[in-house]
Structure 1
Amino acid sequence: MNNLGIQYANSNKSWMTSLIFKNWVERLNSKMSVENRKILLLLYNAPVHYFDGEFSNIELYFLPPKTISKIQPIDQGIVHSFKSLYKKGMTRNLSMGTNIGTLSYTHELTKFKLVNALPLIIEAWNEVTVDTIKNCFNKALNNWAKIDEKILEESTDEKGIKFKSPYN
């Protein structure tokens, strides 16, 4: 997978694990350090996202528990755009030399593996526009302003960020 320019990790159940996530964040932090960049990661409040450690170039922000999708930027159209672009690329890739709906097309689908999907995933993500991402963040922020203030008070500290493990 490294020859595709990506890092790949898996687990027995095909789920994200704390170790996979931690290793990914550590690699990302190293990359951001080399590039002299600082970033903020917005994370679902999920147990796999919690681990001890601080990063020089990454700040973790955990969305409040049970955060509704209306205030999550990724759910405001980023995923939809990515999936549409991926499906378009997959259809284009599989239909080369075959007619959709024919037996040969169905046969091509059965041969389609992860290694075939990864370049299409990279291509689809690279085609998601900056404007799409900005618009989704703006939409989420507008929705965020409308949610119950009590939820905000319970999930923020004086900086507006609360880093609290669900296990405390």
Structure 2
Amino acid sequence: MTGSLWSMIMKEFDNEMGKQKRKVLLIVDNAACHKVDGLNVENVKITFLPPNTTSLLQPFDQGIIHCFKVYFRQIMVRKQILAIENGLSIKQFITPISILDALNFIKRAWWFVKSDTIRNCFQKAGFQEEDISFDPIEEIVDVPIEIHNFDEYVACDSGIDCFGVLTDEEIVELELE
């Protein structure tokens, strides 16, 4: 995620909320890419989680992301097994996978995440049932890595940052807040 991408997403989301005549509160983690100067939105109020609390307060970190990864990697493993059963090597399996294929795998994995899982994770993060209003959910390269069980496979990317690195000035600014 980058600041410019975040701005674009927020402007589109704000426009959509305006078309629906809705005002919404969006609670986001305090990643630097989310703190964009001059972001002018009328229908979306953005509130940041306190620093160093994302893993405790963000509903997606309470199990939704983990559940999605389990389903995604399950899809990948099943496809790999099918490829091997058809006599393909891992490289032959991976090579023809397009971005569209990957997006379809992502879509399928997300559809497997149950609305109960999402509801439970929001409750675990401190949201009360009456506060939650959402519709139910509807429907690799050949690199050696040491993974000894499926849980390790699911969590193999848990330490990878998913947003840009803070500059020294941004770190100082965050500490002064």
- Interval containing the TM-score (normalised by the shorter chain): 0.5 to 0.7
Which residue of the partner structure matches residue 85 of structure 1?
A: 71
SS of the aligned residue for 1:99 comes to helix
The answer to whether the Cα contact below 8 Å between 2:54 and 2:61 also exists between their aligned partners in 1 is no
The answer to whether the Cα contact below 8 Å between 1:18 and 1:48 also exists between their aligned partners in 2 is yes
Change (3 A) 1:29 1:68: closer
Counterpart CA distance in 2 for 1:59 and 1:132 is 26
Which residue of the partner structure matches residue 132 of structure 1?
A: 117
Aligned length: 130
Which of 34, 56, 67 is residue 70 of structure 1 equivalent to? 56
Which residue of the partner structure matches residue 31 of structure 1?
A: 16
Are residue 60 (structure 1) and residue 46 (structure 2) matched?
yes
Superimposed CA distance per residue, residues 92-143 of structure 1 (whole angstroms, 9 cap, x where no aligned partner): 44544x226964344112332322211111222233222111100111118x
Counterpart CA distance in 2 for 1:54 and 1:76 is 30
Which letter maps to 2:24?
I
Counterpart CA distance in 1 for 2:47 and 2:17 is 17
Are residue 104 (structure 1) and residue 89 (structure 2) matched?
yes
Which residue of the partner structure matches residue 150 of structure 2?
A: none
Task: Note the aligned Cα RMSD (angstroms).
Answer: 2.6
SS of the aligned residue for 2:21 comes to coil
Which letter maps to 2:45?
E
Change (3 A) 1:92 1:38: farther
The answer to whether the Cα contact below 8 Å between 1:95 and 1:105 also exists between their aligned partners in 2 is no
Q: Report the TM-score when normalising by structure 1.
A: 0.65
Which residue of the partner structure matches residue 142 of structure 2?
A: none
% identical equivalent positions: 35
Counterpart CA distance in 1 for 2:71 and 2:52 is 29
- Structure 1: which 5+ residue stretches go unaligned? 1-15, 143-164
Counterpart CA distance in 2 for 1:133 and 1:26 is 26
Of residues 86-95 and 108-117 in structure 1, the stretch that sits farther from structure 2 once superposed is: 86-95
Change (3 A) 1:68 1:49: closer
Counterpart CA distance in 1 for 2:25 and 2:126 is 15
Superimposed CA distance per residue, residues 138-158 of structure 1 (whole angstroms, 9 cap, x where no aligned partner): 11118xxxxxxxxxxxxxxxx
